[in-house]
Chain A
Amino acid sequence: MKNIIIIFVILISPNNVLCRDKKKKTNLIYKYKSYEKFDLGNLEIKGKVIAPGDLSVKDRARRTFSRDLFDRSDFNKEVIQEIKNLR
């Protein structure tokens, strides 16, 4: 049973000896056209051409950004400061 499991593990391992032969590095060379001209004027588009009607933009609620402006909720800092002014 042990032997069967070991053989099975070896077989399913991606780096096994059988697979290694197939992974021979091949030098692929990609060649691109050095120059190609498109005549956009002569291009034909298949289908119906519909003339644009009224422009319409979907209205969406704009997000309003508001910053917390300076405010004075109390004068506690001054209250503490006054203690230091005592003789």
Chain B
Amino acid sequence: MFIYRKFILFISIIVVFITIEFAYADINTSYEIFRETQTPDRDRRLAIDLFQSKYFFSSLAFSKNYIAEINKIDPLFEIYIEKLILKTGTMSFSYMQEKTLKKHLYSPSIALAYGFRLSQKKKWQQALRTLTVIPNHHRFSAEARMMEGAANTMINKDLEAEKSYMNCIKIAKELEEISSVKKQGRYYSILKDTCAIHLARIEYKNANYDKSMELYNLIPKVSYQWPFMLIEKAWTAYQLEDFNRSLGIIVTYKSPLLSSYFFPETEVLKSLSYFKLCLYRDSLKTIEQYYKVYKTRSEALKALLIDHKHSNTYFLKMMFAPIHVVEKLNPYIRNLMTQIRKKIKFSIDLVAYKRVQNELKNLQKLHSGKLSDILQDELKETLRIRTTHLNHFIKKKMFDFINDIHRFSYEMFNIKIEILAKKRDLVWKNKMLIADRSRGSHKNISRKAQEHFYDFKGEFWADELGDYSFGLKSNCELIRVKTQASIESNEVSK
């Protein structure tokens, strides 16, 4: 049985290897076309031929040439551009010359690429005008509606933004259902959940916290976006003054399943929630823990990474290194790497990066010639750009984390000062808090009709994640301090 399984595995590996090796067809026709005089028509035919031979990044070079030279993209070539965007990413076209992009804004694919570029530059009005070209039945309409929603949010047109996000959810759901490729289905599922989260964010911004909480609750727990969204849900509970719920949601990050998701902001929210419940000792303890553990570790991480801040490859290499090697460097690195791997941007860019690598390897195997040399140079440059791009993405995530720890330590300091001021005020007023530390009770939990209650016994159950609530009583009630003199006067009056 064991030998049979091994045999099957061996055959599978061979089949996969053969499939990969022969995925690329020969490009003899391309060589012939290349010998012709350079015209837009030649570039068009070259782009199509290379695409059909599965040399997508090579095809990209001639496609861009062709688009720059002509005045109108024909419907057939529009389909190729669509497919090229799917295979190589929006980024491939969005950084073309602006005048070329502007010339072809009637094309939905080019409009998406330019809209993406304008959104990155925060030119929201222009982005909105560009993205309207993409109709709802188009392949890229889900992305377009999401970007439209974001642009409308930024210029405070919330009603329009809601409409865009609703469309985005509807389209992404339909595309998810008809996707035959698993990864593609997952992409649309993430897109759908992102638009749903955006709807909750609009309500939050407009201080409709009840509505916002309802929308956050609609995000399924299996969603890739769910762990990242929990902190926003905790903030919503905080704004609703349900500090026990806010603390409960934050504690979800302590579950083994979510141990990689460490966000410094959660510690600030935790400290703030305790502060609002007048549990100053707990709040101060959270601050102390933050300074002792997180800040020290982040400083160690900074010392480790700062030497490589100008490197264009170090961080990408780190992602490819075995996990047992990397986690020895710093306790946060593994967590950060897990978070980065879950980002859709990273997965898509990594696939494109590997595609360029494979394509280059295959080109190098082909017989040499002027076309091969040109394509190899082109792909080497593409690979360099993609490596720098991916490396920058990882580097930014890591340094953002370090900066966040530093930024939030200032916020923690503010809370600490505020607690000291509150304590001083109590002394001036000759008053004290009703208890030193509140104990939990079921009475202090606010829950809705459809919510059930179970005691937490140190175990994190998957179906309960995100639904926790503390049962702490607010300690904000004040009582007069009993001095020796007041006790004596009470006794005398008795």
Q: Is residue B146 contacting chain A, with contact meaning CB distance below 8 A?
A: yes
Q: Is residue A3 contacting chain B, with contact meaning CB distance below 8 A?
A: no
- Cα–Cα, bound, A79→B164 (Å): 14
Q: Is residue B272 contacting chain A, with contact meaning CB distance below 8 A?
A: yes
- Cα–Cα, bound, A73→B85 (Å): 36
**Is A86's CB under 8 angstroms from B411's CB?**
no
User: In the complex, which of the residues A68, A76, A83, A87 has the most CB atoms of chain B within 10 Å of its own CB atom?
Assistant: A87
Q: Is residue B470 contacting chain A, with contact meaning CB distance below 8 A?
A: no
Q: Is residue B344 contacting chain A, with contact meaning CB distance below 8 A?
A: yes
**Is B268's CB under 8 angstroms from A70's CB?**
yes
**A-contact bits for B112-129, CB 8 A (1 contact / 0 none):** 000010011010000000
Chain B interface mostly:
helix
A-B complex: 3 closest residue pairs judged by Cβ atoms: A70-B411, A74-B205, A85-B345
- Cα–Cα, bound, A64→B426 (Å): 12
Q: Is residue B214 contacting chain A, with contact meaning CB distance below 8 A?
A: no
**Is B122's CB under 8 angstroms from A78's CB?**
no
Q: Is residue A28 contacting chain B, with contact meaning CB distance below 8 A?
A: no
Shortest B31–chain A CB gap in Å is 32
- Cα–Cα, bound, A67→B419 (Å): 10
**Is A67's CB under 8 angstroms from B418's CB?**
yes
Q: Do A74 and B204 contact each other (CB < 8 Å), given the known contacts A66-B421, A80-B122, A85-B345?
A: yes
Q: Is residue B348 contacting chain A, with contact meaning CB distance below 8 A?
A: yes
**Is A83's CB under 8 angstroms from B120's CB?**
yes
**A-to-B contact residues, CB < 8 Å:** 62, 64-70, 72-76, 78-80, 82-87
Q: How many A-B residue pairs have CB under 8 A?
A: 78
Task: Other than A70-B268, A76-B153, A86-B147, give 6 A-B pairs with Cβ distance below 8 A.
Answer: A67-B418, A69-B415, A74-B205, A79-B150, A85-B194, A87-B143
**B-to-A contact residues, CB < 8 Å:** 85-86, 89-90, 116, 119-120, 122, 143, 146-147, 150, 153-154, 187, 191, 194, 198, 201, 204-205, 232, 235, 268, 272, 275, 343-345, 348, 408, 411, 414-415, 417-418, 421, 425, 428
Shortest B183–chain A CB gap in Å is 11
Question: Which of B116, B205, B408 lies in contact with A83, CB distance below 8 A?
Answer: B116
Shortest A87–chain B CB gap in Å is 5
- Cα–Cα, bound, A67→B235 (Å): 20
Specify which chain A residues have a CB less than 8 angstroms from the CB of B205 in the assembled complex: 73-76
Shortest A85–chain B CB gap in Å is 4
